[in-house]
Structure 1
Amino acid sequence: MGARYPPKIRKKIEEIKKLSKKKYRCPKCDMDAVVRVQVGIWRCKKCNYKFAGPAYYL
């Protein structure tokens, strides 16, 4: 990102990227194997369960 953005914004973007790459627990098989496929779409690598993030639930 270079010097184009101030340090506060770079740190915030880095935290967001770490959270999106982190593995989460699957609600179906209860394993830590959920990865982000696209914005708001998550998939479990173990049971192949695909679901939307909480922002897309009505």
Structure 2
Amino acid sequence: MLGWAITFFIIAIIAAVFGFGGIAGAATGIAQILFFVFVVLLVLSLVVNALKGKKPKV
């Protein structure tokens, strides 16, 4: 999911360089949503693993 967020962020940067403001804004919004979903799922996963008492696989 983080990879998709980075992909949309790069698309937004390229679109902004070429002057496509609408596409850049939309891609930025999608990237932000994906990034925050990633962060929420990461924190949730860490909390659940901490409550289970399992050691994380490294």
TM-score range, shorter chain: 0.3 to 0.5
> Comparing both structures, which one devotes a greater share of its residues to strand?
1
Q: Which has the higher contact order (CA 8 A, sep 6+)?
A: 2
> Structure 1 length as normaliser, TM-score?
0.41
Larger helix share, 1 or 2: 2
Larger radius of gyration: 2
- Normalising by structure 2, report the TM-score: 0.41
